[in-house]
Amino acid sequence: MVATGTSPRSQRTTFPSPRPYEVLAAKNATLRLRSPTGHIFSFTDLTSANGIVNFGHLNPAIDPFGNLTSDLATSFYPPSAATFAEWLTRKLGLDTHTVLYQVGGVSAVGTAIDMARRTRPGKVLVIAGSSHDPRGNARNTRHGSSYLRIAAASEFNAWDEISCLIYEPIQGTSCSVPLPLPWLRSLSQSAQAAGVIVIADEIQCGFFRFGELSMAASAYLQPDILVFGNSMTNGIYPLTAVVCPEAMGSAFLAGDRRGEDPFQTAALGFQAAECVAKFIDSTDIETQVAQIHLRLSQLGERLAANPVLTAFHLAGPTLSLEVRYGRAGELVRACEEKCVLLGTGGGRVRVAPPTTIPLEQLTNALTIVEQAAGGL
């Protein structure tokens, strides 16, 4: 497998300002935070796996630092780059694919789209509410007016002017709401039948954030290109990977090589990714995911009668709650007062513990979430 890649720099994704705490220590699902008044608290982090730290803070099995033999030698990849590429394509069952590495989600998505548009010129079809939606928090905006936007579950047949379809199986910007799989499968098949390139963006949802290494692969969506990042190194380094057919990757690399990121070949990122691969192979992640899934499912069912909570979406070890009347922030703050951290966005609250969280700690944290929801 080839392990290389390049892409022009793009506009960086912006994030909300940090909470007014200082982080002093982190271990698995626990954060020790110091408040502005100097008080120190232990928080249960149910946001640590927000598409990044899926396998726990400072996981001792994912420690790339001790075995590093090089740091950053621009344009030269370490051996672990090829090792990880071979592991990933084998796990996905894509032996005829190759891996192009990038730094950051913006660059990876931009590379996938550029590759598709070189293969088939045209517009980029995106799903409303996704990270690619130019009306929202777009992950990549340099293609400008080349975007065409459709609503989830809507019909689309005008493929002649479309270069590629890009989707997130579970939309992170919408706070972990899954797309309807039958519709997504039908849309993808229709696109590919018309010669359109299909791209699955799994930067936020891959590597067991929702219970599978690849949601697209497990759902038999068969995209042409897959994009991974974030949890690929358990948050240690912003390494990303574009998994594409070998011929498509070779044709892309033969073209213009503008703006290569000097950090793209840093050994730390590949060493971290290789540690994650070894951890996945040596751990019964499926059982851990199933245990968390059961407890989140039970919480969702108990909260179903709460009139302030209109719906919940459950995928693997992640629960997304839809909250009425703009009170999602209120629920998050109520839990924070009890030292439980939740994520929020778009009127939803996300409960996303790492797959390694001790079950007793998870049970205690979910009790606090339930009590806080009952007080809305």
Arithmetic mean of pLDDT, 2-29: 58
Estimate the crossing angle of helix 105-119 against helix 246-253, to 10 degrees. Answer: 100
Do 91 and 229 have their domain in common? yes
Q: Which domain holds residue 215?
A: 79-282
37 inside domain? yes
At residue 4, does pLDDT exceed 70?
Answer: no
Residues 164 and 28 in one domain: no
Question: For position 178, what pLDDT does the model report?
Answer: 83
Is 64 a domain residue?
Answer: no
For residues 344 and 262, membership in a common domain is answered with: no
Instruction: Provide the whole-model pTM.
Output: 0.90
CATH number of the structural domain spanning residue 304: 3.90.1150.10
Give the pLDDT band of residue 20 (cuts 50, 70, 90).
Answer: confident
Last residue of a domain, one of 253, 282, 311: 282
- Give dist(CA 351, CA 58) in Å, integer: 20
Residue-level length of the chain: 376
Q: Residue 142 above 60 pLDDT?
A: no
Which two three-digit tokens encode residue 98?
């190759």
Q: What is the mean pLDDT of residues 342-369?
A: 94
Provide the residue type at 134 as one letter: P
Percent pLDDT > 70 in the chain is 89
What is d(CA 135, CA 345) in angstroms, rounded to the nearest whole number?
15
Q: Which of 229, 257, 282 is the last residue of a domain?
A: 282
In the prediction, which pLDDT does 136 show? 56
H helical segments located in 203-327: 215-218, 246-253, 267-282, 285-303
Residue 2 falls within a domain, yes or no?
no
For position 87, which CATH number holds?
3.40.640.10
Q: 243 with 358, same domain?
A: no
Please provide the average confidence, as pLDDT, over all residues in the chain. Answer: 88
| Amino acid present at 262 | P
Measuring CA to CA, which residue among 222, 186, 187, 194 is closest to residue 92?
222
Same domain assignment for residues 207 and 244 = yes
pLDDT band at 146 (very low <50, low <70, confident <90, very high): confident
Average pLDDT over residues 182-201: 97
Percent of the chain clearing pLDDT 90 (strictly above): 73
User: Smallest Cα–Cα separation from 351: which of 301, 308, 300, 281?
Assistant: 300
Pair 48, 97 in one domain: no
Instruction: Please tell me the predicted confidence (pLDDT) of residue 255.
Output: 64
| SS3 state of residue 57 | strand
On the question of pLDDT at 14 being above 70, the answer is no
CB 348 within 8 A of CB 280: no
pLDDT confidence of residue 145: 60
Q: Identity (one letter) of the amino acid at 257?
A: R
Please, which pLDDT band fits residue 67 given cuts at 50, 70 and 90?
Answer: confident
Closest CA to 91 of 288, 327, 276: 276
Pair (94, 238) in one structural domain: yes
135 and 231 share one domain: yes
Q: Decide which of 255 and 229 is more confident.
A: 229
> Would you state the pLDDT for residue 173?
67
Q: Are residues 34 and 98 in the same domain?
A: no
User: What angle in degrees, to the nearest 10, is found between the helix axes of 267-282 and 79-92?
Assistant: 40
Domain for residue 65, yes or no? no
Give the end of a domain, one of 258, 282, 306.
Answer: 282
CB 234 within 8 A of CB 53: yes
What's the rounded Cα separation, in Å, for the pair 315 and 50?
13
The verdict on 84 and 37 lying in the same domain is no
Q: When comparing pLDDT for 166 and 252, which is higher? A: 166
pLDDT of residue 12: 31
Number of domains in the chain: 2
Name the residue with tokens 């110091």: 34
The answer, yes or no, to whether residue 91 has pLDDT greater than 70, is yes
Beta strands in the chain (DSSP E): 3-4, 22-27, 30-34, 40-45, 97-103, 123-127, 147-150, 162-167, 170-171, 177-178, 197-201, 225-228, 239-245, 309-315, 318-323, 340-341, 343-345, 348-351
